[in-house]
Amino acid sequence: MKTRRLGRTDLHLTTVGLGTWAIGGPGWKFGWGPQDDALSVRTIHEAVDLGVNWIDTAAVYGLGHCEEVLGRALRELKGRRPLISTKCERCWEPDGTVVPRLKRASVLKEIDDSLRRLGVDVIDLYQIHWPQPDEDIEEGWTAVADLVKAGKVRHAGVSNFSVAQLRRIQPIRPVDFLQPPYSMLARGFEQDLMPYCEANGIGVIAYSPMQKGLLTGKVTREWAAALPADDHRRADPQFSEPLLSKNIALNEGLKRLAKGLGTSVAELAIAWVLRQPAVTSAIVGARRPGQIGGTVGGSGLELTPKTLSEIETLLKARG
């Protein structure tokens, strides 16, 4: 699988990384419905077997459960350890309510909890999940910088930050990488963030390149209606009218285009994100064996100017 250097760091990430949000399972506000832990472990192993060299997770996924499952999978890999990326800031109360915290004491507690759940001595990629509370981002980033000095973190980054927020924390410690949402349906990254990252040597890891499953070719009204009752996507406007009809029509156009190229809509969506040289890697979620195998081909798919033009036409028609 292809790799790209992450900004100015010494890391070379495969252009597809395994995302584990859904592996966190149910029982929290942003879950994806029921999940089988044994299948999760097999999915992680499959990704490593396919050559994926890094895995993205977060403490809040499943309120700590996802990190525990990943830790189990790492132990069973017996030394074939991929790079691990996890996050701080999304904390939770005893009743499961998710709250934002970036106070120093909270960040220091979070790293120790993540290290314990994952069963590792150092986090390869550690990031602030959301810039919230905004007034505390400097304090939180200072704490993350100190974790690098202490040897608990190798490389430090942030997720969902604006250019203005990046500029505020850069003097404390240069940001190694940014993790923004980026897909055919979420292109805000292209405006200000992409040129800023390129100019400052900040690596970019794009999340949700398939827009929570909307860019996989499988979207129908029946598919959306069959989502589990506790799947957070039921509250996402993209999964209900009037946007759902637009997304179904887009999928039909992308399916025709993908068929002509001998690929899948999912791989087309991933390759579209990776067409940007500024993007180091794309996070591709999977929760069952076989899923990641059906998407990693997007890592090596080169899109011609003609194909890109056809995609733009479909996106303009969607509106």
- Asked if residue 82 has pLDDT above 90, the reply is yes
Active site residue 207: no
State which CATH number among 3.90.226.10, 3.20.20.100, 3.30.1450.10, 3.40.50.460 fits the domain covering 3-213+275-298.
3.20.20.100
- What does the buried/exposed string (b/e) look like for 55-87 if buried means 16 or more CB atoms within 10 Å of the residue's CB? bbbbbbbbbbbbbbbbbbbbeeeeeeebbbbbb
Question: How far is 176 from 9, CA to CA, in rounded Å?
Answer: 7
* Residue 107 pLDDT: 98
Range from 9-18, 112-121, 230-239 carrying the lowest mean pLDDT: 230-239
Q: What percent of the chain lies above the pLDDT cut of 70?
A: 100
* Residue 302 pLDDT: 93
Domain layout of the chain by residue ranges: 3-213+275-298
* Residue 228 pLDDT: 85
* Residue 79 pLDDT: 81
Question: How far is 214 from 222, CA to CA, in rounded Å?
Answer: 13
Q: Kindly give the residue spans of alpha helices, DSSP state H, lying in the chain.
A: 37-49, 65-77, 104-118, 137-150, 163-169, 193-200, 221-225, 243-261, 265-274, 305-318
For the segment 113-151, what is each residue's pLDDT rounded down to a tens digit?
999 999 999 999 999 999 999 999 999 999 999 999 999
Tell me the pLDDT band of 176, cut-offs 50, 70 and 90: very high
Please return the burial class of 114, using the count of CB atoms within 10 Å of its CB with bins 0-12, 13-18 and 19+.
Answer: buried
For the segment 250-285, what is each residue's pLDDT rounded down to a tens digit?
999 999 999 999 999 999 999 999 999 999 999 999
Catalytic residue among 61, 126, 182, 207: 61
